[in-house]
Structure 1
Amino acid sequence: MAKPNKKGPVTTVDVLCRRCKTVLFKYRKGGKGALVKCFKERISKDFTLQACICPECQTVFAREMLVRGTPAYKIIGSKAVAK
């Protein structure tokens, strides 16, 4: 399988916790679909203290996994949204 583009998109989106609306990180998202996974190399600014846990309400919003051989966060249901 092909790896994601290293350079990635230029536009950034804020990834928010669905429950408390806290900004989790700024992410360079490509395309206009729903937020399903976030490649770690595309995160431009991370506001979380622990990986995959909201710093405000302590909700687990994602799981760490390898997608196409690249480390990524797989979003659980719709616990995080891109805005």
Structure 2
Amino acid sequence: MAKPNKKGPVKTVQIGCLQCKTPLFKYRKGGKGTLVKCFKERIVEDHTATPCRCPGCGQEFARETLIRGVPAFKMIGGKVHMK
């Protein structure tokens, strides 16, 4: 499988917790689909203290994994929103 593009997209989105509305990431997202995964190298700003846990309410919103050999967060459905 091919690795994700190193340069990455230029469009950034804000990712926040759906339950408490706390901002989690500022992320360079490619495409116009839903947010399924976040490659760690594309995260511009990280507002979380511990990985995959919301700093506001403490719920787990993602799982750490390797996608195509690159470290990423696999999002849990219905836990995050993006704008």
State the TM-score, normalizing by the size of structure 1. Answer: 0.98
Q: Percent identity?
A: 66
Question: Which residue of 1 is the match for residue 35 of structure 2?
Answer: 35
* Misfit runs of 4+, over 2 Å: none
Counting only pairs closer than 5 Å after superposition, residues 2-81 of structure 1 correspond to structure 2 as 2-81=2-81
Distance, in Å, in 2 between the alignment partners of 1:78 and 1:68 is 24
1:23-78 deviations in whole A, cap 9, x for unaligned?
A: 00100000000000000000000000000000000010000000000000000112
Gaps of 5+ in 1: none
What SS class does the counterpart of residue 10 from structure 1 fall into? Answer: coil
SS in 2 for 1:30: coil
